[in-house]
Structure 1
Amino acid sequence: MSGTTHLDAAGTRLDEATVREYLATGAWRDRPLSSYLRVAIAAVPHRTAAVTRRGQDRTALTYRELGALVDRVRTGLRRLGVGPGDVVSVMLPNTHEFAAVIWAIFELGAVYSGVPTAYARREVTFMLNRAKSKVWIVPSEYRGRDYVAFAKEVRDQASTLETVVVLNLGEGSGSPERYGDLGRDEGLIGFDELIAGAPEPVPAPPPAAALSHLGFTSGTTGEPKAVMNTHQTLDAVLASWVKHVGRDTYGEPPVNLVPSPIGHHTGFLWGVLLSAYLRGTAVYWDRWNPDAAPGVIRDEGVTMMVAAPTFLQDLVRVVGDDPSPVVSLRMMAIPGAPIPRSLVPVARERLGCFICPAWGMTEWGIGVSAAPGLPSDRIDATDGVAVPGCRVRVVDPSTRVELPPGREGALEITGPGLFLGYYDRPDATAEAIRDGWFATGDLAVLAEDGQVTLAGRTKDIVIRGGENIPVTQVEDLLYRHPDVLDAAVVGVPDPRLGERACAVLAVRPDSMLTLADVTRFLLGEGLSKHFLPERLELVDALPKTMSGKIRKVELRDWLSG
C-alpha cells in the first residue's frame, strides 16, 4: 500500500474532476491529521491533552508531554521499518499510549487500523491479513485475557506481520518478569523497548491525500470490509461537524469523555482526533461504569461526550433528579445507533445539556446531525439535517430513483467526507457507490426542510448498544452445527441496548439444542463473545419468500409481539 493516494488507490470512488472540485472549494485542505497535534502543542503546550482512567488509577499528560511520547513511539516504529503506506494495527484498551501510537503512525505517513480488544482469533486474523498489517500492538493482559499467548497464536496466520509490540498494563500474569521475556522471542517486543531510543526529529508531514485509516465494518455479506479514508476525507468530516454544531457547543476548553473504544470508529474519530482538533482534553476511560460516570464527569470537568444511546440511557438513570455531578456537561452526541425518540427530551431535562441526535458510520463519521439552533421539537422527532458538504437523498431501494420529500426510501449520501472505497474490494465499492452516491443501507424519510428521519435498515445487521453484529457471519457458523437445518439471526428490541440478537433455528426432529449449546459451539468456531445470540427460538420451519429468502421482518414482528 506504500505511497497510495486518493488517485491511485485501486477501486476508489474518485475521478479527477471530483478531486479538483473538492480542492478548489476548500472542502479538502492541505492539512494532514498529524497537524492537529502539532498545532495544539504550539498553541496550548501546558494544557492537559490526555487523561487515562483505569480503575482507581489516573494518568494525565500535557500536550507537550504527549508530543514527547509521540516522538519516541514514532522513532521506535520507524526503526521497526514502518514507513509511508505501511499498516499498523492496534488492539489496545482506551489509554493515552493508544492515542500516542495513532499520532506516531500519522506522522510517519503510515496507516492506522484499529482492532477491538474483544475480538477473537477469527476476526483478528482476517483483519490483519486483509489490511496487510506490518506491525500489531496489543496489551500484555486485559480483563483476564492473555494477549501475549493470543498474539503468538494469531501471528503465524498473518502473512505480512513482522512485529508484535506488547504494552504492559500490569494486569495479572502480565507481570514485569514475564513481560521481560519478550526480548527472547524474535518478532515480539515490549512497548518500553519500542520507545527506549533517543527520539528523532519530527519528519516532514505526509501528503494530505494519502491513506490514513483502514476502519473495519461488517455488512450483509458477513465479511468485514476495510473502509479507506485519507487525511483529507477525515479532516472534512471533522471540520463539517464542528462547523455544523458550533465550536462553542463543546465547551471551552473542551473536555471530552471517551468511553467508546478507540479501536472502533467512534472512539478514534470523535475521541482522539476531535479532542486534538479542538485543542481540548481527552479523558480515556477503558470500562464504562454507569454508577461511576457522574463522579468521573464531575472530577474531570467533562464538557462533552460522543457515544452510543446505551451510555445516555445509563447516565439519565443514574443521575435521576440530581444533575449536580454533571453540571459541566455541555453536549452529548449520539451517532452510533438509533436513539429512542422519548429519551431526547428526558435526557435534555435531566442532564441540562444539549442532546445531539446524529447519524454516522465508518464510511462517513457524522453526515446527519442535530444542531443547537434547530427547534427542540424537530430535534426530538428527527435525526437532524445534513452537515455542511454532505448531500443526502432518499431513493427507491430497487431502482435508486430519487423520491420526493416525505417518502420513505433508501438513504444515500455523497460529498468530501465520504470514504474512498473498500480496500482490496473494488467489487464491494462499485456495488455500494454508484455515480458518486453511497448506498448507506439505511431507510429514511427526507422532509421538505431537510430534516432526516431514520426508519430502519436495509442492511442485515443487528445493532446492540451501538455495536454492529454481523448477522450473516453468525448464521454461516450456525449452519455448521450438525443439528441446524435452517438459521436466521434477527434483532429484538431491548430497552437499554436497543437490540439483542436472537437466533431462530429449524433443527433436526430429535435435537435438544439449547442456548448454552449454541454458545459453546460458536465460541469453538472462533466467534467473538459480543457477537453471540442472547436468545434462542426453535421452530419447525422459517418463513420464506417465493424465491427462498427468509422473511426476517415477519420474524422480528413475531419475536417483538
Structure 2
Amino acid sequence: MIKGIGSWLLQHSDRNADKVALVYKDRRFTYSELNDRVNRLANAFVQLGVEKGDRVNALLLNRNELMEAMFACAKIGAILVPINFRLSVDEVEYIVNDSGGILFLYDERLKAIAEGLRKRVPAVRSYIRVGDEQAGTDVHYEQLLGQASNEEPEYEIGLDDAHMMMYTSGTTGRPKGALLTHGNTQWNAINVIHEFPIDQETITLTVAPLFHIGGMNIFTTPTLYRGGTVVLEDRFNPQGTLDIIEKEKITALFLVPAMWLAIMQFPRIDEYDIRSLTLNISGGAPCPITVIEFFQKRNVPFFEGFGLTETAPVVAVLDSKNSLRKNGSVGKPPIHTEIKIVDPNEKEVPIGEVGELIVKGPNIFVKYWNKPEETERAIKNGWFFTGDLAKQDEEGFLYIVDRMKDMIITGGENVYPIEVEQVLFRHPNIKEVAVLGYPDEKWGESVKAVIALKDAAEPISLICIREFCEGKLASFKIPKQIELVDELPRNATGKVLKTVLRSKETENSII
C-alpha cells in the first residue's frame, strides 16, 4: 500500500535531515525538526482521544502550527478542517457543528472567537491555544508537544483515506465541506511538479491563506513533497511581501489577482530586488492582463492557473511563454487530469462553443460532507461538474467564460462578465471592476459595472465608459449602468462578492 502524505516528512528527514522545511517569522524548522514536532502533535492528539476519521478544527493564521496540525492528522488518519480566520463566531460555529470537530486549535489572536464558540458547541472536547502567550486555562500548544512522545505513529494510512476538509468560499448560501483524500493532495502535487520546475532548491512564500485550497496546495504541499522550503507569512501587505521576497530569495510565489495588483501598484516596487522569482502564478479569479504585462516586462515569469477546492485544486495551467499570446486562457490540464466541455445533455460541445466544464482525475474530491444530494449532482460517473462555463480553442487552450450563475442574458444574448471586466481593466483610471446584470424591463437584464477608481479626484461618467468600450465590445455588452465605490467587497481568498454587490443599494449609480 502506498503510504499517505504523512510519510513525506519521514522520508525527507531521513534523506535530508538538516534541510530547512518551514520558515515562520524568526523560526526555522529543518525536516528533522518538523517531523519530530509533527510526531509529538500526532501522539498528543491520540492521547486526547482523536481516532481515525475524527475531525480536528483549526482557526489559525498562516504559521508553522497549521502545517504541523495538517501533517499530524495525516499520520493518524484524522481529518484537518482549516477554518477561515475572518469569519464571525456564527459562521465558525456552523463549520464546527457541520464538521463534527472534536478538537479546536486557535491562534491566541483569535481567542475572542474561541471564547464565543466555547459557550455554543459542547461537542468540542479540547481547545488548544497557539501562540507565544501562555496565560489562560486552555491547553497550550507547545506544552502539549513537550509532554508527548516523538515516536513515529504506527498507523496504516493510504491514499484513499481522507486527510483534510476544505470549506468552499460560501459566496452564496452556506459553505460546503469538500472532503479531500491523501491521494487528492499527492496527485495534485505530482501534477504541479510536472507543470512547474519545483525541486529541492525551491523556496516558496505562502502568504495566501492556508485555509484556502490555493494557499495550501498550489505551491505549499508540492514544495514539501519535493523537499524544498516553505516560508509562511500570516498577513499580506505589498511592502511586507516584497521585503520577504528580497530577504529569503523567494523563487516561487502564488497570489490571487488582488494581491498581484496591490504589489504592482506599490509605489516603491522598483526599489526591491525580485530577480530570484522564477515561478509565479495567479489563481482564484481572472488576472487582469495589465498585471501580467507589468511583471513580464520586469522579466518575472508569470503563469496563470485555474482550479477549485473540489479538484485539490489544479485543473489547468497557462505557462509564462503563452501568458500574453493566449491572454484570457487558463491554459491546459496537467498530465493526470482530464477535462470536457458539455451541453445541458452532458454531450461534448464543438471546439469554440461554450458549455459546462467537467473534470476527471485522481485529484477529484470524495464528497460534500453531510450533503449526499449535492454530491450526487456534482459527481457523475467520476466526472466533477464544476458549474463553470468554458470553451476550448483549436490548440486545446481552455477559457473560463464565467460561472453559470453569473452569466448575463440581455435581449436573448449571453454576456460573460469576465470578458467585459478585462476590457475595463485597461482603462487608465480603473483600479478594480466587477460586472453583473441588473433587471431591465425591456431586455430582461442589462450590464452594470461596479468600479473602484485609482484616482477618485478624477471621476468617470457612464458616457466615458461607453466611449472607452466602443470598438472593443459589442454594443449589448457595453455597460448601461455604472456604480462608483471605494473598493469591491471580497472574501478572504480575494474573490469579489457579487452577491453583496447585487444586494446593495445603488445610491452611487449613474444611469
1:429, distance to aligned residue in structure 2 (A) = 0.6
- What is aligned with 2:4? 32
Structure 2 match to 1:243: 194
Distance 1:148 1:321, change over 3 A: closer
1:190 is the counterpart of 2:140: yes
Q: Which residue of 2 aligns with 1:201?
A: 151
Partner of residue 450, structure 1: 396
Cα distance in 2 for partners of 1:251, 1:379 equals 27
- In 2, Cα distance between equivalents of 1:52 and 1:202: 24
Q: TM-score, normalised by structure 1?
A: 0.71
CA distance in 1, matches of 2:13, 2:509: 54
Q: Distance in 2 between matches of 1:405 and 1:387?
A: 19
5+ unaligned residues in a row in structure 2: which ranges?
Answer: 408-416, 419-447, 455-484, 490-495
- Secondary structure at 2:239's aligned position in 1? coil
* Secondary structure of the corresponding residue to residue 265 of structure 2: helix
- The count of corresponding residues between Structure 1 and Structure 2 is 432
Give yes or no for the alignment of 1:354 onto 2:279: no
C-alpha offsets along residues 514-551 of structure 1, whole Å, 9 cap, x if unaligned? x9xxx9xxxxxxxxxx97947975379xxxxxxxxxxx
Counterpart CA distance in 2 for 1:303 and 1:453 is 28
Partners in 2 of 1:319 and 1:278 — Cα distance?
A: 36
* 2:336 equivalent in structure 1: 389
- 1:210 is matched with 161
> CA-to-partner distance for each residue in 1:123-169, whole Å, 9 max, x for gaps?
1111111111010100122xxxxx33432321343353111111134
1:266 Cα offset (Å): 1.8
Alpha-carbon RMSD: 3.0
Matches within 5 A, 1:96-111: 96-111=64-79
Q: Separation in 2 of the partners of 1:417 and 1:32?
A: 14
For 2:56 and 2:229, locate their aligned partners in 1 and report how far apart those are by CA, in whole Å: 25
The whole-number CA distance in structure 1 between the counterparts of 2:38 and 2:207 is 22
Task: Establish whether residue 263 from structure 1 lines up as the match of residue 263 from structure 2.
Answer: no
Give deviations 1:478-529, integer Å, cap 9, x for gaps: xxxxxxxxxxxx9845589xxxxxxxxxxxxxxxxxx9xxx9xxxxxxxxxx
Which deviates further from its counterpart, 338-347 or 319-328? 319-328
1:185 is matched with none
Q: CA 1:266/1:377 → structure 2, altered by over 3 Å: closer, same or farther?
A: closer
Correspondence for 2:425: none
Extract unaligned runs of 5+ from structure 1.
Answer: 1-28, 142-146, 171-175, 183-187, 464-489, 497-514, 520-529, 541-557
- Is 1:155 aligned with 2:102? no
Which residue, out of 188, 207, 222, partners 2:173?
222
- What one-letter code is carried by the residue in structure 2 that aligns with 1:192? E
Q: Check the 8 A contact 2:200/2:226 in 1, yes or no.
A: no
Contact 2:40 2:151 in 1 (8 A): no
What amino acid does structure 2 have at the position aligned with 1:86?
Answer: D
Q: Counterparts of 1:91 and 1:491 in 2: how far apart (Å)?
A: 35
Q: Deviations over 1:343-373 (max 9, x none)?
A: 22322222x232111100101111111235x
Aligned match of 2:414: none
By how many angstroms is 1:302 displaced? 0.3
Matching of residue 51 in structure 1 with residue 23 in structure 2? yes
State the identity as a percent: 24
Find out whether 1:278 has 2:226 as its counterpart.
yes
Closer, same or farther: CA 535–444 of 1 in aligned 2, 3 Å: closer
In structure 2, what residue type is equivalent to 1:95? R
Separation in structure 2 between the aligned mates of residue 317 and residue 293 of structure 1, nearest angstrom: 13
Matched, 1:231 2:182: yes
Distance in 2 between the 1:222 and 1:195 partners?
38
Distance 2:449 2:377 in 1: 25
**2:365 equivalent to 1:419:** yes
1:459 CA drift (Å): 4.0
**1:87 alignment partner in structure 2:** 55
Rounded Cα–Cα distance in structure 2 between residues aligned with 1:452 and 1:437: 17
**1:42 aligned partner, one-letter code:** D
Q: CA 1:218 to 1:283, structure 2 compared with 1: closer, same or farther past 3 Å? A: closer
What is the TM-score normalised by the length of structure 2?
A: 0.77
What is the alpha-carbon distance in structure 1 between the residues aligned to residue 172 and residue 210 of structure 2? 25
Are the aligned partners of 1:129 and 1:159 in contact in 2 as well (CA < 8 Å)? no
Aligned to 1:525: none
Which residue of 489, 498, 505 maps to 1:538?
505
Question: Cα offset for 1:321?
Answer: 7.4
Correspondence for 1:527? none
Shift of the alpha carbon at 1:430?
A: 0.9
Instruction: Give the letter for the 1:404 counterpart.
Output: P
Q: Specify whether residues 385 and 152 from structure 1 end up closer, same or farther in structure 2 by C-alpha distance, changes over 3 A only.
A: same
Give how far 1:380 is off.
Answer: 3.1
Q: 1:70 and 2:70 equivalent?
A: no
Distance in 1 of aligned mates of 2:269 and 2:211: 34
Given residue 99 of structure 1, which amino acid in structure 2 is its aligned partner? M
Please state how far the C-alpha of 1:262 moved relative to its aligned partner.
1.3
